[in-house]
Amino acid sequence: MNMENKIAARVKEVPPSGIRKFFDIANSMEGVISLGVGEPDFVTPWNVREACIYSLEKGMTYYTSNWGMPELRKAISTYLSLRFGVDYNPENEIIVTVGASEAIDLALRAILEPEDEVLIPDPSYVAYMPCVRFCGAKPVAIECSAEDGFRITPEHLKKSITSKTKALILPYPNNPTGGIMTREDLEAISEVLRDTDILVISDEIYAELTYEGKHTSIANIPDMKERTILINGFSKAFAMTGWRLGYAAGHPDLIGAMVKIHQYTTLCAPIMAQVAALEALNKGFEDGFASVEYMVRQYNRRRKVIVNGFREIGLDCFEPMGAFYVFPSIKKTRMTSEEFCERLLMDQKVAVVPGTAFGSCGEGFIRCSYAYSIENINEALKRIGNFIKKL
């Protein structure tokens, strides 16, 4: 049998991940310093791990409600209200998912018909485009530039909207650029959206990692909540990537449709992770999210060290206000992003990710994560400096 022919066209047409090649090379090399990881270097706080261990000892090893444990949904509702000023009913407006990734997939599958168009800022996280295509729908890139702080401008948004536009994916703070959308920025694009019936899938997984100011959710902008599916999770703010726990909040009809898919494909998120997440939130309510704030302070210091470092090396570096990435321009080296990353890896054993892995507008940029110790960052900067000097 020709298995190649058995693969569905909408799966076949999605190209393999752009960073796979680097991953394989970097992984086989000794002494590699990496700035390539999109997850916190902090281990999950001990109280959270301990709560999970205790739940296993007690025998909490069963399915939960399809929606997620009621106590956890209630805590998520309180958290969203407390930290971001958005109110959702834990009874029917919140679903707990296997990572924010599942929530993105569910949201898209719940709303998309074939031929629908979904607007996605470029560059963005690698999963949106493929997930839209898996639904048989059409991803449409909104070009973003360093000059605009990698934000979606109302002009670019307006230009991209057609009669087929079903939804806008709004991933801020942004991976890979570190760009954010302030309240003013969100108000400006809401002005455009208000005249349409376009839904917003707002991926706010990096919301807590916002520096010099607080994150604003688009659900907090007048008239926007009804059309918004807000997605968040525990991976970044609570250093819980491997637990795979996220959630979505939104209109009961939309969340209900997502639950329908979730209950038949996944049933529920693992109970261990749900118990752990509940502890993370409850501890946060008690101590004012001290461990989140501690991690944010640490990231913020590293952010300043790495931005300063790239500027000293002589690479233009837009100042990221969120997440834990910098996205310096390598245009003056006259190399493509991929060429730059490959040569940097071979020559200096530093692993960074080419901007093109996140969309064609990422050409001329590299993504460097600062979820590393200051020593690691300084060593990587030194090697990148050597590399640039030798060119």
Residues that bind another protein (CB under 8 A): 17, 19, 22-23, 26-27, 32, 34, 36-39, 41, 43, 125-127, 175, 297, 301-302, 304-305, 308, 351, 353, 357, 374
Start-to-end Cα distance in the chain:
51
Instruction: Output 259 or 341, the one with its CB closest to another protein.
Output: 341
User: What are the start-end ranges of the E strands in 154-270?
Assistant: 165-170, 199-203, 228-233, 246-249
CA distance 141 to 90: 34
Selection from 264, 254, 276 nearest residue 166 by Cα: 254
CB of 18 to another protein, least distance (A): 9
Beta bridge partners of 366: 354
CB of 358 to another protein, least distance (A): 8
Instruction: Output 39 or 187, the one with its CB closest to another protein.
Output: 39
Three-class DSSP category at 255? helix
Instruction: Output 35 or 72, the one with its CB closest to another protein.
Output: 35
Tokens 């997984």 belong to 205
CB of 98 to another protein, least distance (A): 17
Instruction: Output 27 or 89, the one with its CB closest to another protein.
Output: 27
CA distance 15 to 86: 37
CB of 206 to another protein, least distance (A): 14
CB of 309 to another protein, least distance (A): 9
CB of 140 to another protein, least distance (A): 21
Tokens 């926007």 belong to 224
Three-class DSSP category at 165? strand
Tokens 């604003």 belong to 216
CA distance 270 to 71: 15
Backbone angles phi, psi at 119, to 5 degrees: -85, 130
Count the Cβ atoms, other than its own, within 10 Å of residue 269: 27
Instruction: Output 41 or 71, the one with its CB closest to another protein.
Output: 41
Token pair listed for 175: 């991976």
Count the Cβ atoms, other than its own, within 10 Å of residue 160: 18
Backbone angles phi, psi at 54, to 5 degrees: -60, -40
Instruction: Output 152 or 368, the one with its CB closest to another protein.
Output: 368
Residues 6+ apart with CB under 8 A from 239: 40, 42, 43, 44, 45, 295
Specify whether the CB–CB gap between 258 and 107 falls below 8 A: yes
CB of 351 to another protein, least distance (A): 6
Instruction: Output 36 or 364, the one with its CB closest to another protein.
Output: 36
Token pair listed for 225: 């909540």
CA distance 282 to 287: 9
Specify whether the CB–CB gap between 234 and 206 falls below 8 A: no
Instruction: Output 170 or 357, the one with its CB closest to another protein.
Output: 357
CB of 347 to another protein, least distance (A): 17
CB of 53 to another protein, least distance (A): 15
CA distance 208 to 94: 19
Instruction: Output 34 or 291, the one with its CB closest to another protein.
Output: 34
Instruction: Output 166 or 236, the one with its CB closest to another protein.
Output: 236
For residue 328, give Cα distances in angstroms to 25, 35, 147, 159, 177.
22, 13, 12, 27, 9
CB of 132 to another protein, least distance (A): 16
CB of 223 to another protein, least distance (A): 33
Instruction: Output 12 or 301, the one with its CB closest to another protein.
Output: 301
